[in-house]
């Protein structure tokens, strides 16, 4: 009975998150002619009024369906959980892409319980891609099962990364990229962490690494990558987090951890 009730909860959360993500995506796809921008940590780190509108829509729909759940939102819509379920929301992952009308921006929605992330949805309207996963239930792209690539050497690996908002950190990252790029197939900078993680899950990228990710960047995409067979960690096998995220299949993950760690 306990197992069936857990499965029912997972299905409920997935269905709710998928519908909300798609409705947020529909709203965001109608681009405004002008943007209201508020700067966060620097001029490189900003939110638009559409980030706030998307988070407002997502939170309102979650709480209309599950009023006792908690919320962690990038734009500040935080509340404690009374149900044991907390939603982790990035209303526009890849805000710079969205602002410049570049593809790959997405809506990232995860729900976690006391054991960690339980379900994750990443919806990228410009890529016609909806990834989803549940803990122990596998990972899927547009309803089809996905799995990480079997890359085993750096020379055959296509990697992705992102860059910090902090200038000094960008200099250090540039040095790291300069040392790494002669040794790999190539490196991409796509501009949206959740989709980068999902591309690893789909096998479209062999590996991904980045510093500075927040919980809302990592929660849904990290689960999707893990459920597709990736290892997702920090440096030297530590937990993935703001200090470092490394995601790849097991063989390549070991090489990247040694190289980047």
Residue 36 maps to which CATH number?
Answer: 3.30.540.10
**141 and 159 part of one domain:** no
pTM (predicted TM-score)? 0.94
**12 and 66 part of one domain:** yes
Higher-confidence residue: 4 or 55?
A: 55
In this predicted structure, the answer to whether residue 112 has a pLDDT above a threshold of 70 is yes
- Residue 19 — very low, low, confident or very high, per pLDDT cuts 50/70/90? very high
Question: Which pLDDT does position 45 carry in this prediction?
Answer: 56
**176 and 109 part of one domain:** no
| Number of structural domains the chain divides into | 2
Final residue of a structural domain among 85, 113, 145: 145
- Residue 164 — very low, low, confident or very high, per pLDDT cuts 50/70/90? confident
Indicate which CATH number applies to the domain containing 189: 3.40.190.80
Question: Which pLDDT does position 225 carry in this prediction?
Answer: 98
Final residue of a structural domain among 84, 115, 145: 145
Final residue of a structural domain among 145, 174, 197: 145
Question: Which pLDDT does position 1 carry in this prediction?
Answer: 45
Query: What is the mean predicted confidence (pLDDT) over 188-217?
Result: 97
Q: Where does residue 6 fall: left (phi above 0), alpha (psi -120 to 50 degrees), or beta otherwise?
A: alpha
In this predicted structure, the answer to whether residue 39 has a pLDDT above a threshold of 70 is no
Residue of 227, 231, 222, 238 lying closest to 255 (CA atoms): 231
Residue 219 is encoded by which pair of tokens?
Answer: 């929660």
Place of tokens 């570049």: 102
Give a three-class secondary structure readout of 136-205: CCCEEECCEECCCCCCCCHHHCEEEECCCCCHHHHHHHHHHHHHHHHHCCEEECCCCHHHHHHHHHHCCC
**133 and 172 part of one domain:** no
pLDDT tens-digit profile of 2-12? 778 899 999 99
Place of tokens 């909300």: 20
- Residue 37 — very low, low, confident or very high, per pLDDT cuts 50/70/90? confident
Higher-confidence residue: 260 or 94?
A: 94
pLDDT tens-digit profile of 149-162? 999 999 999 999 99
The residue segments making up the domain with residue 216 are 154-260
């Amino acid at each position: 009975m306990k197992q069936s009730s857990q499965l029912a909860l997972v299905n409920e959360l997935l269905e709710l998150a998928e519908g909300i993500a798609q409705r947020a995506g529909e709203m965001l796809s109608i681009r405004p002619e002008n943007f209201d921008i508020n700067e966060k940590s620097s001029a490189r780190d900003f939110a638009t009024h559409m980030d706030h509108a998307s988070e407002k829509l997502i939170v309102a729909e979650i709480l209309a369906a599950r009023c006792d759940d908690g919320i962690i939102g990038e734009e500040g819509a935080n509340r404690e959980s009374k149900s044991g379920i907390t939603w982790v929301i990035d209303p526009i992952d890849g805000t710079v892409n969205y602002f410049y009308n570049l593809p790959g921006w997405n809506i990232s929605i995860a729900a976690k319980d006391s054991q960690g992330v339980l379900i994750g949805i990443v919806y990228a309207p410009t890529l016609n891609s909806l990834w989803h996963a549940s803990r122990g239930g596998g990972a899927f792209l547009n309803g089809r099962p996905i799995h990480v690539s079997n890359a085993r050497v750096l020379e055959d690996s296509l990697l992705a990364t992102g860059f910090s908002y902090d200038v000094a950190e960008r200099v250090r990252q540039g040095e790291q990229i300069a040392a790494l790029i002669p040794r790999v197939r190539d490196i991409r900078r796509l501009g949206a962490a959740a989709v980068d993680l999902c591309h690893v899950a789909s096998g479209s990228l062999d590996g991904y690494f980045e510093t500075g990710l927040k919980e809302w960047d990592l929660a849904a995409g990290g689960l999707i990558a893990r459920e597709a067979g990736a290892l997702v960690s920090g440096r030297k096998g530590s937990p993935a987090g703001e200090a470092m995220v490394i995601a790849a299949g097991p063989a390549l993950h070991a090489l990247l951890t040694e190289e980047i760690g």
